[in-house]
Amino acid sequence: MNGLERWGLSRRGTQLLWDDHDLSDLAARFGTPLFVVSRHRLEEAFTAMEAAFRSQGLALEIFFSVKTNPVPRVLEILAGCGAGAEVISEFELWLARKLGLDGDRIVVNGTLKSEALLRAAVTHGAHLINIETLAELETLREIVEREGRRANIGLRINPGLRKRAFHFTTASGSSTSPIGFRRGSGEWQKALRLIVRRPDLFAFRGLHFHLGSGIREAGPYRDALASAAGFFDDALAAGLQPEALDIGGGFGIDTLKEATAGEVLRLFVWNRGQEPPDATRSRGLLDEVADVCAGTLSDYARKRGIPPLRLLVEPGRALSGPAQILLLSVRSVRERARGRRAAFCDAGAMSLSPLLISESHAVFAAGRAEDAGRLRYDIYGSLPTPLDIVSLGRRLPELNPGDVLAVMDTGAYFTSLGNNFAGPRPAIAMIENGSASLIRKRETFEDLVSRDAVSGAGATEVSS
């Protein structure tokens, strides 16, 4: 697959189409900046993930990582496909419940879970509460004793991956990460003993790790599974019967690459952006990871004489990332030194998501024939700082004010990391059943001050 097709785009004359919709038309109808979600692409990503693991004989359970894209309609569609929810806060748990997910379809994570979150997880009978420290286990014990309900628990381990200097993708699972139990630590042994002693309070389900985000090869998963085997051995030796392994999320997507520390530095020092990855893989990442999981898990169960472990995943980016794009309008174009051109649009990294700085997103111009001239542009938002980047060094046809740009793969960590820097947040439209409609209205100025109080001479009332 080449060119536009890799992003699900096509051209008809000068129209740039995504999921059969003319992007200039969507921008004109709903205004920019605008996020557009494709229901079809969301469902397709879910089905592809399930198929990759099921083809290896693995009974996979998918819990969408809500923080990645906590937009109710997006969550609803994924839930309709069969996805549960991975939550890290009381808000996310509340949202999942509000959308109709039973506790059994919710996995609760979090480095510092509040008591209220733990209590809600217990009351709703969460499928899994992944405990990260002995102190958290003690707190949960008190809650469970009070509530008189058993809790389904997993233990988050630190698989101790070799720290790759200057790479961020596996940071959470690296040996220097402060997250997760460490094998051999007194805390790990004490946690196991506490769980063994209180089967009336804790239903031990298994282990959990999460390695990072934007991982583009199966190697780190292979290493983490090898490390998890040791933790499982400890649990078995302590008298626990693990039944599941939750390998978190982190799966990268083909059309997007996370920057290394060197690449971020280049961006700041020389204004040099990176191209999106262009190599098309012979085999999908998910197929490779599924292969590694199937082999390792069945080997492990056979050698230890235990039933095969259930496999849970908590994907975010791999499901919602490619299913959402961002439309921006060019407001001004300026010539810069050494033949560089800058195009300023209606929003950039400072309000939409800092990931526009640390990831390479493909950008296309709508309303132009494909063979229009190719010039290099540095694309910025509208804020008065060169950090308000959209993308640097992109090859595009000649741009003019009013042109619409499509920034691809913006479905992960955009709607959740966006902010109100100097103005309202964008609307979100969804393409479903052949037409497009808003699933989130653009914020208004009034929305931004609706919870504020003002006083003093000349102040107009903010809101009732």
Ligand X SMILES: Cc1ncc(COP(=O)(O)O)c(C=O)c1O
Interaction site with ligand X (CB under 6 A) = 65, 68, 86, 109, 210, 213, 248-251, 314-318, 412
Output DSSP code: residue 251: B
**Nearest distance in Å: CB 79, ligand X:** 17
- Chain Cα centroid distance, residue 457: 46
> Quick one: 273 or 315, whose CB is closer to ligand X?
315
> Quick one: 112 or 457, whose CB is closer to ligand X?
112
- Asked if 170 contacts 227 with a C-beta cutoff of 8 angstroms, the reply is no
- Residue 146, φ and ψ in degrees, nearest 5: -65, -45
> Quick one: 86 or 223, whose CB is closer to ligand X?
86
**Nearest distance in Å: CB 422, ligand X:** 27
Tokens of 377: 């542009």
**Nearest distance in Å: CB 40, ligand X:** 20
> Quick one: 31 or 418, whose CB is closer to ligand X?
418
**Nearest distance in Å: CB 216, ligand X:** 11
> Quick one: 65 or 329, whose CB is closer to ligand X?
65
**Nearest distance in Å: CB 317, ligand X:** 4
**Nearest distance in Å: CB 67, ligand X:** 6
Burial track 24-41 (b if 16+ CB lie within 10 A, e otherwise): bbbbeebebbbbbbbbbb
Q: CA of 286: how far to CAs of 56, 249, 252, in Å?
A: 11, 11, 9
**H-type helices in 198-354, by residue range?**
219-238, 261-270, 285-304, 317-320, 349-352
**Nearest distance in Å: CB 212, ligand X:** 7
**Nearest distance in Å: CB 175, ligand X:** 18
> Strands 341-345 and 375-380: what pairing?
parallel
> Quick one: 16 or 140, whose CB is closer to ligand X?
140
> Quick one: 95 or 392, whose CB is closer to ligand X?
95
Return the ∠ at Cα 133 (arms to 128 and 136), rounded to 5°. 70
- Asked if 418 contacts 352 with a C-beta cutoff of 8 angstroms, the reply is yes
- Asked if 124 contacts 93 with a C-beta cutoff of 8 angstroms, the reply is yes
> Quick one: 86 or 346, whose CB is closer to ligand X?
86
Residue 207 pairs with which residues in a beta bridge? 155, 245
Q: CA of 98: how far to CAs of 73, 449, 462, in Å?
A: 12, 26, 30
- Rounded to whole angstroms, the Cα distance separating 254 from 274 reads 15
> Strands 341-345 and 310-313: what pairing?
unpaired
- Rounded to whole angstroms, the Cα distance separating 415 from 70 reads 7
> Quick one: 256 or 404, whose CB is closer to ligand X?
256
**Nearest distance in Å: CB 354, ligand X:** 14
